[in-house]
């Protein structure tokens, strides 16, 4: 089938990653219609690196030239830009979180049921998450009993995100719960069912700064979840584990990309596991294939608006428990 025309709104880290994944890995699914960003400096950087990519003067002009639009702007703009794309009859692929305003997101999701819209949770296409699902289907750990999620960071934002610290470390839109924990809550929701926050706490060191620590007890369906997260507890930019314990064993997802089984007291990675920097573009290729399917009205694995809202609601409940 003919590749869909993809417009990208936002020339920051995620917009650049998706742009390169589309060009280098997903030409059979998408072709780049162009890019727009309100920052001349961001567009100048893209022009220097990829001069063949068309740049548009406004979001509306880019949307008009596209079949689908990837929205990689800060969260406060997500609903407006997604709504603009849908109103123009285009498919929309929004970066997570769907929003930070729960009431606005609830109204948006209710008004756009059945729309050609999805949210970029790469766990929907992750090779490691696929292996976790296969192990569960095989009964590798017997009956799943409990789930533990732990995230840790040397600093926030992470080293490679510091250019976006103005909003990524702000209380209104940023923080690691929205940026990182949300991915693992999405996976939990998709595997086990609706999320409910039973108890939570969030610690902030300054009124306008994002959270420094969180702790929560949740359920996904009937699965009990213990969640912890903190800054300054690891020398790594980013360290995370999603650990599922069953009646006869345990499996986990570590550092985004490693599916592991507990064997004789030792965590053993899946034989096909690759580091995150190698697997990321291949996962984005899968996400872009899903976007092409969504645009054509075909089945796809991408996170729905309803799934993204369920995650957002849980995240904002945790962050409000200061």
Distance CA 212, CA 236 (A): 16
Residue 61 CA: distances (Å) to CA of 9, 54, 55, 103: 11, 11, 10, 29
Helix/strand/coil for 232: coil
Q: Burial of 245 by CB count in 10 Å (0-12 exposed, 13-18 middle, 19+ buried)?
A: middle
Domain annotation for the chain: domains and CATH numbers = 4-122+280-303 (3.40.50.720), 124-274+310-319 (3.30.360.10)
Residue 287 in contact with residue 70, Cβ under 8 Å?
no
In this prediction, residue 1 carries a pLDDT of 79
Tokens 């017997």 — which residue?
142
The 10 Å CB-count burial string (b at 16+, else e) for 71-84 is bbbbbebbbebbbb
pLDDT tens for the chain, 322 residues long, are 799 999 999 999 999 999 999 999 999 999 999 999 999 999 999 999 999 999 999 999 999 999 999 999 999 999 999 999 999 999 999 999 999 999 999 999 999 999 999 999 999 999 999 999 999 999 999 999 999 999 999 999 999 999 999 999 999 999 999 999 999 999 999 999 999 999 999 999 999 999 999 999 999 999 999 999 999 999 999 999 999 999 999 999 999 999 999 999 999 999 999 999 999 999 999 999 999 999 999 999 999 999 999 999 999 999 999 7
Query: Nearest 10 degrees: CA dihedral of 22, 27, 29, 31?
Result: 70
State the greatest distance between any 2 C-alpha atoms of the chain, in Å, as a whole number. Answer: 59
Distance CA 44, CA 55 (A): 10
Query: Nearest 10 degrees: CA dihedral of 30, 34, 35, 36?
Result: -140
């Amino acid at each position: 089938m003919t590749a869909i025309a993809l417009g990208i709104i936002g020339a920051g880290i995620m917009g650049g990653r998706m742009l390169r994944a589309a060009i280098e890995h997903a030409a059979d699914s998408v072709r780049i219609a162009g890019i727009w960003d309100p920052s001349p400096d961001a567009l100048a950087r893209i022009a220097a690196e990829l001069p063949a990519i068309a740049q548009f003067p406004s979001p509306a002009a880019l949307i008009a030239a596209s079949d689908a639009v990837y929205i990689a702007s800060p969260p406060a703009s997500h609903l407006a830009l997604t709504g603009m794309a849908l109103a123009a009859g285009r498919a929309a692929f929004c970066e997570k979180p769907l929003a930070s305003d729960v009431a606005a997101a609830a109204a948006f999701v209710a008004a756009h049921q059945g729309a050609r819209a999805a949210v970029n949770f790469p766990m929907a296409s992750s090779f490691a998450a696929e292996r976790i699902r296969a192990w569960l289907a095989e009964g590798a750990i017997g009956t799943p009993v409990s789930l533990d999620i732990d995230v840790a960071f040397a600093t926030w934002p992470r080293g490679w995100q510091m250019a976006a610290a103005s909003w990524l470390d702000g209380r209104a839109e940023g923080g690691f719960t929205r940026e990182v924990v949300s991915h693992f809550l999405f996976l939990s929701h998709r595997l086990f069912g609706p999320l409910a926050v039973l108890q939570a706490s969030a610690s902030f060191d300054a009124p306008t700064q994002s959270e420094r620590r969180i702790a929560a007890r949740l359920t996904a369906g009937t699965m009990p979840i213990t969640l912890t997260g903190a800054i300054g507890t690891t020398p790594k930019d980013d360290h995370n584990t999603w650990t599922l314990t069953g009646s006869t064993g345990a499996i986990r997802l570590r550092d985004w990309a490693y599916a592991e089984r507990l064997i004789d007291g030792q965590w053993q990675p899946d034989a096909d596991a690759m580091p995150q920097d190698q697997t990321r573009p291949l996962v984005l290729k899968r996400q872009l294939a899903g976007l092409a399917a969504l645009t054509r009205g075909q089945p796809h694995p991408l996170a729905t608006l309803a799934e993204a809202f369920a995650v957002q609601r849980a995240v904002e409940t945790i962050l409000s428990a200061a």
